[in-house]
Chain A
């Protein structure tokens, strides 16, 4: 464990396995935004869930302030954390939280994703993953407040656990954006370069999106890590069989300036998720005015309210149709859609998000969990 000016007398302490440069996906972006707009009453614990021998660089943790870094084997030390509200961000922490840790604290659980397969089987939404179900249920049960990152996620959770409806709050994620950032207007000259950025996961619908491009005369660039080898094998098998290596490029897992340049090189970003609890990637495209071709299942539909290039990921041929529509539309039409993206973005600022969380934590002043 090491302490980056963590004072241990905060009112609110967040625990997550994503922070600073040690991030995997949207939950990491969320943590970094929350950190950026934190009050002096807020501390952060980064808990590594990998090997106890993993090394961490201090420079990976932003201002190196108000942060405690530990690995999961040191979780017992959480009993010494002095705070009123303990905010857990991931169901994997359920097994680490014993009574000594949570006593005399209000426990909050921010549900970045109800961990089900997609689509969730109606007879067992967790698809037989009993271990995940147990951890998830334990946290939901212990928490005084459950925060969902979209109305869609609230609906999904309430459908499985109607008993929790009363304690669910919805706070949309937010992003820091710079309105002076130059807009991507590639679409005025070209509609031939599309891209995907994100994890390699069947729920992201990458396979379906590659299939759609087999019939479209365009380039498809993918920026993803190799976190699911079997899925990547499946993608390659399809690309082989469809003889698509001339139109599909893998660019690796892009971060920092490379990510900026990846997004700038595109005429449109494809977000083909079968379901997305929120969809931070849409905000990243929106702040650049980069058109998106986007699934409408989950939080994305809320972010892209009133936007044209959305499709249902479970309807065969819809993605292909939407891409072609984007390619063939007049410049004015795309321009209008770009304006919708920019207008919608205003509803998802990180400052607003942080403020909303502060309001929620403020309403949990007293101790609600006592052993």
Chain B
């Protein structure tokens, strides 16, 4: 299982983000996951976007939110949509 620990700052599409929770990627073969940055965050650097993992159980359109600051991707190939 691939995971990113809480408070880790990492890059997504050259944008720095911080994990608000531990991120566990259950299925790293498919590796799809959603990062949502709308949760309460006290990380001081406002240039770093807060993100919280929401487990993606399906690839249905419902989960693919558009222009919504939701990040969808697979392990290393993460994209901002």
Contact = CB atoms under 8 A, between A and B. Distances in A.
A195 B35 CA distance: 24
Contact of B41 (A221, A255, A260, A265): A255
A261 B46 contact: yes
B67 A225 contact: no
Contacts of A251: 46, 49
Contact of B44 (A225, A226, A250, A258): A258
Contacts of A258: 41-46
B39 interface: yes
Contacts of B38: 225-226, 252-253
Interface in B43-79: 43-46, 49-50, 66-69
Contacts of A131: none
A240 interface: yes
Given A221-B46, A225-B38, A257-B44, 16 more contacts: A225-B39, A236-B67, A236-B68, A240-B67, A251-B49, A252-B39, A253-B39, A253-B40, A253-B41, A254-B46, A255-B40, A256-B42, A257-B42, A259-B42, A260-B44, A261-B45
12 contacts: A221-B46, A223-B46, A225-B38, A226-B38, A232-B68, A251-B46, A252-B37, A252-B50, A253-B41, A254-B42, A257-B42, A257-B44
Contacts of B44: 257-258, 260-261
Contact of B69 (A250, A260, A261): A250
A69 B44 CA distance: 29
Contact of A262 (B40, B46, B49, B67): B46
Contacts of A232: 68
Interface string A249-283: 01111111111111001000000000000000000
A239 interface: yes
Contact of B40 (A225, A236, A257): A225
Interface string A231-245: 011001001100000
A245 to B, nearest CB: 8
Interface of B: 36-46, 49-50, 66-69
A254 to B, nearest CB: 6
Nearest to B52: A252
Nearest to B39: A253
A251 B48 CA distance: 8
A260 B37 CA distance: 18
Nearest to B51: A252
A259 to B, nearest CB: 8
B68 A265 contact: no
B48 to A, nearest CB: 9
A226 B44 CA distance: 20
Contacts of B39: 225, 252-253
Most chain B CB within a 10 A radius of its CB, from A223, A257, A258, A262: A258
Contacts of B41: 252-255, 258
Contacts of A256: 42
A132 B75 CA distance: 46
Nearest to A260: B44
Nearest to A236: B67
A252 B68 contact: no
A257 B48 CA distance: 13
B49 A252 contact: yes
A223 to B, nearest CB: 8
